[in-house]
Structures are given as C-alpha cells and as structure tokens.
Structure 1
Amino acid sequence: MKNSNMAFEILRQQFGDLTEYVIQQPSTGNRFVVVPELGGIVRQLSLRKGVTLFSLLKTPPTPQSLKDDTQSASELLFPFASRIPDGKYKFLGKEYQLAKNETGNKNAIHGLVRKNQFQLTEQSISSEGAAIKLSYHLDQPEGYPFNVQFSVLYSLSTEGTFSLTYEAMNAGAQPCPVMFGWHPYFELGNEDADAWKINIPSDTIVDFDDNQIPTGTSAYPFQGSTPLFRKVLDNCFVVKSNQQIATTELRSDNQDVTLHIEQETGEGKFNFLVVYTPPARDCVAIEALTGNVDSFNNSQGLNILGPGQAITGTIRVQLR
C-alpha cells in the first residue's frame, strides 16, 4: 500500500513476519518506521542535518530480536513507566497487585501496552507533513481494573521535526491513575557516548534506594553542556522549565550536530526525565515521563482521570 503526495509518502511493508509503516520525505530522506503489532514502537528514525542523514534510534536489528527485546527499546510505557516495587500500589484506598515482570521478578515495570497489538486508526499527508495514529484499548488488565483508550500520534514535519503525541481517555465509570513515558535509545552516527555532551534541563535529581525506588531528591550540580566521557547515568530528574517546553540536548562536537529532545511541561505534562547510559556506551536513553518513578504510590506527577476525561502531551525530536 502506498499513500503519497509530492513531499511525503506512507508505505506499508513487511519486516520479517511483522508489518510496519514507513513515513518518509523522499527529498530529504527524513523518515520514521512504526510497528503497530509490537506495542506501536518506532523502530527507526532518521533525520538530516546538512549532507548527513543520521539514524537516531538504536533498536534490535531483526524481527525476532525486536520481539525478544527486554531493554524496552523505543517502547511506549503506559499506564505506568519505570518501577512499582513488588507490583503493589494503592489508589483511592484500595490495594492492587500488578504482575512482577521485571528481570528477577522483583517489581512491575514499564506498563501494560508493551509488545501488544496496536490498531492503525489514522494516517494523513498534508503540505505540513505526514502522520500516523495508533491506538490500544486497556480493558481492565490484571492489576489495573480500569478502562482506558490509549493512542499515540506520530508525525514528521516539512521542517524535519519528529513528534510523538500521546492521549489517554478514561472510558470507564471510575477514576483511574495514568502515567506515560517513551523509552528511546538515541545514537549519533557511529560514535560512542563518551564522545558526546549532554545538557539535562534539571537542577534536581531523584534519590533512589537499592531497588531504584525514589526516597527523595538532591541538587543536581551539572548545569549546561556536560561531557559524557566516563559518566555513568541511570537517574531520574525533576525537569526545570520556565516555559511550556524543556529541552534535553545531546551533542557531538566532532560531527557538529545536536539532537534536541523537547518535552511539554506544566500541569499534567512531562515534568520528569530519565537518562540512562547503557554499559555498551553506544547510545543514551533519554526518557520523558509524566510522573516520577513509582508515581502510582508517591503520586508525584500522577494524573488521575475522571470518567470521560482525557490527557495528552507531546515529545519532539529534531537536529540542529
């Protein structure tokens, strides 16, 4: 299937036994690829700066390794992100038990929509860009007896900006707790993370216990552009923003390119951020979150939707 106009096209193709959609601008090479049946993930994102087309997402390279991935590469994390200790939480005076699905069976981690089949609900092409919308209906899964319609709209603009906009709507009769995060691993060319600098929009770091559950906060002293050379990060930050957007910058001086990851901030938006440098040092996870780790228990950034209520937020990625 091919849907196109002069500037953009949307292609449907096979990736092994998976079906994926390619949204691209042939004149620039800017493109992204989504896999609806595997949790609606973005498998590829390529954006151009000058003469160079950068592949920006590190994901497993084969259909089977993508299915088997336990590192949540590029996954959508909903209705919670990060860890809930022992999978237990309280909401409006009632106790709930989620499946303990983290390696080691200690915690519940990263939500209930990963690797599930999403539905393609919209695709569009205009003079401004192209977009594709995927949705998933949570109908009282184990440990989360709520009814939520979840969707994500991915888009690519003529200016070369990739956007992810999520929406969650309470389709049930009772209030429900929701938190959302995206889990991309970013790369810049073939360099190691040690060659890059990062600018994290925060002056407050979340303190963790041995189980990586929040115990409080501390001052984060590294302001401005900070070299990642030999720096190990696996931390959550409280985002600081005077505007309605906070921007994390990942820069390669050697390649003269800066990756900008913007997250909407303010009431109900993306006011937390996880940054993680994997041991291989070949990428950096930069994860915008609407709530703190374990927000189902500590309520920090937790959104509570009444019946019929919806919440939305946007993350944008661009090169400069």
Structure 2
Amino acid sequence: MIELAHGESRLGVLPETGAALAFWTHRGVALLHPVADPNLADQHGQAVAAYPLIPYSNRIGDGRFSFGGESFALAHNFVPERNSIHGNAWQHPWDIAEQGEDYVRLTFDHDPSSPAARAQWPFAYHAALLYRLAGDALEVRITVHNTDRRPQPVGLGWHPFFPKVAGTRLGFDARSVWHKTPDGLPDGRLRCEGEFLYAPPRTLDGVDIDHCFSGWDQLATLTWPPSATDEGRSIELAADALFGHLVVYVPPGRDFFAVEPATNMTDAVNHLDIADAGMTILDPGAHVGGVARLTLRAG
C-alpha cells in the first residue's frame, strides 16, 4: 500500500488491487468507508474505500453488446449476476508511473489479445489515474486513451463508499432517474420526485436505493451529524461536466453508502441511441478524461 499525506489528511492507495483506495482520513477520522464485497472476486477479499470504473460504469446486460458491426460477449464478473459490471480495470494491478508525498499517478494497459482478456473487454486501452491530496480535498483524475486500431465506446466512473450513521444526509439536484428491472437494468426514465428527490438534502435513514440519476448539477453534498466523538462534517462531491450521471447506492441496514459520479448510464453501450447515454466513441489514438473532487467542510 502507498500512503499519501498532506497536512492532517492521509490517503491509502492499493495499486495491486485495481488502483483502489484503502482509506482517506482527516485528523484520524475516516472520510471513506472500506467495504469488502465477496461478489467482486478479483478484489480478493480486500476492503476498499473507492475504486475506478473503466471502461464503463455499472452493468452491461448479460455481458452482451454490439458495436461497429460486431457482437461481443463479456465474462460475468459479478457473481451471482449474469451481467458484467464496472469494466475490468478494477480487476488488475496497476503500475506506479509517478509518486510524490501527496500524489500518485497510476497506469494500466489492457491488451485483449488473449481470449480471457478479450472476454473482459474486446478493445485495447491505456488508463491513467491520479490521486492527489490538496488542502482538505481529494482530487481524482481519470483518463482513458484508445490504443486499439478501431473506434471503441468508453465510459468512466469512480466508486467511493462513505460511512452511514443515523442522521446522515445527501443532497443533489438531477433532471431524471432511471427506473430499473429486478436485474438492475434501465427500463424507463422517471422524474426526480418523491423517493428520488434529493433537493433539498434528505436523511438516508431508512432509504433503500440503487439507481442511476441523469443530468445532475455536478455537485452533491454529504453531511454527517455531530456525535460524542465527532464534531460533524460535510463533504462536497464535485465533478466535471463529463460525469453526467450519478449512481446512488444505499443498501438497507448497512453502515455505508456510495455516491458514484459516472459518465454513462447503466447499460449505456446497449442504448447508444439515447442522446445522453454517456458513452464516448473514441477513435484510435484519442482520449477522454475528467476530474472528480471531494472537499471536506466543517460540520
């Protein structure tokens, strides 16, 4: 593990575990919440606090899609689902390209020449990920270059987990949310109202949600109440306009939740006819990238 430091902030980075984060703390208080997910076998039981979603966010239905006149079948990497999830960059060790006291730049090259690698993603790409501590903020910069000889569809995302206690609040404004089938795939767009309305911020007490929002305003606020051992705090999650979607995952009865900026809607590669599906078609040699930033505020 690499440990970065800036002022009173500490960041643990796990290059060997898909460029995931192990922790982010400030004055010893955990700002992210490590989670071990047995369904993600390639994380090898490691509890991770955040990880990149490359070259797509969320699910591809049955792991199948067509593009450029070809049909592709991906490996099912999220047992027991038949869908493929979150790309394949999280499944591999990354290389350390550059490192300083408060930053690290990691890289990963995907070569689909073997059948197993092709089943993860059929196009070659180069990914770069920068983690940087700056003041009371964590900056995450993700870039993907198309190193294939043909165009390919690319989506990006970042999957942080946060601690959830009684009274934790979440706020953001979005135009719509995708209703989903029981297997997590989109089957219709809804207005953000009722249980899907997070403007103004609302408590997460009793919330059960795992949905993709579209057209959010690029800023989410997460607020924790004060306690006997914690003065309370808030985090502002801001993202470049490229990240036009926000996945909110609040499992009932658990002590964590996720708020994930992403460029693409769920199963976007099978919905390229939707104007804001969010997949970028990269020509050979082209690249796409953006920044998400978490900024700590006093309670």
Q: Which residue of 2 aligns with 1:44?
A: 23
Q: Which residue of 2 aligns with 1:34?
A: 13
**1:72 Cα deviation from its structure 2 partner:** 7.0
**1:229 Cα deviation from its structure 2 partner:** 1.7
Question: Unaligned 5+ residue runs, structure 2?
Answer: none
Distance change in 2, residues 1:43/1:162 (3 Å): same
**1:252 Cα deviation from its structure 2 partner:** 1.9
Q: Name which of 134, 156, 161 aligns with 2:133.
A: 156
Amino acid at match of 1:231: V
Amino acid at match of 1:199: G
Question: CA contact under 8 A between 1:75 and 1:182: conserved in structure 2?
Answer: yes
User: How many pairs does the alignment contain?
Assistant: 276
Please, what is the CA RMSD of the aligned residues? 2.0
Partners of 1:296 and 1:47 lie apart in 2 by 38
Question: CA contact under 8 A between 1:137 and 1:150: conserved in structure 2?
Answer: yes
Partners of 1:77 and 1:225 lie apart in 2 by 26
Partners of 1:279 and 1:39 lie apart in 2 by 27
Amino acid at match of 2:84: A
Q: Which residue of 1 aligns with 2:207?
A: 231
Q: Which residue of 2 aligns with 1:4?
A: none
Partners of 1:230 and 1:178 lie apart in 2 by 35
Question: CA contact under 8 A between 2:42 and 2:91: conserved in structure 1?
Answer: no
Partners of 1:71 and 1:277 lie apart in 2 by 18
Matched, 1:258 2:234: yes
Question: CA contact under 8 A between 1:131 and 1:156: conserved in structure 2?
Answer: yes
State TM-score, norm by structure 2: 0.86
Question: CA contact under 8 A between 1:47 and 1:318: conserved in structure 2?
Answer: no
Q: Name which of 34, 46, 56 aligns with 1:59.
A: 34
Q: Which residue of 2 aligns with 1:174?
A: 150
**1:195 Cα deviation from its structure 2 partner:** 1.4
**1:180 Cα deviation from its structure 2 partner:** 1.3
Report the identity percentage.
Answer: 26
User: Which is richer in strand?
Assistant: 1
Matched, 1:319 2:296: yes
Deviation per CA, 1:48-77, whole angstroms, max 9, x where unpaired? 5xxxx421121148xxx9943499752211
Question: CA contact under 8 A between 1:37 and 1:115: conserved in structure 2?
Answer: no
Partners of 2:173 and 2:45 lie apart in 1 by 29
SS of 1:308's equivalent in the other structure is coil
Amino acid at match of 1:183: H
SS of 1:307's equivalent in the other structure is coil
With 174-183 and 141-150 compared, the bigger mean Cα shift is at: 141-150
Deviation per CA, 1:216-268, whole angstroms, max 9, x where unpaired? 21111222111212121211101333xxxx11111123344111111111xxx
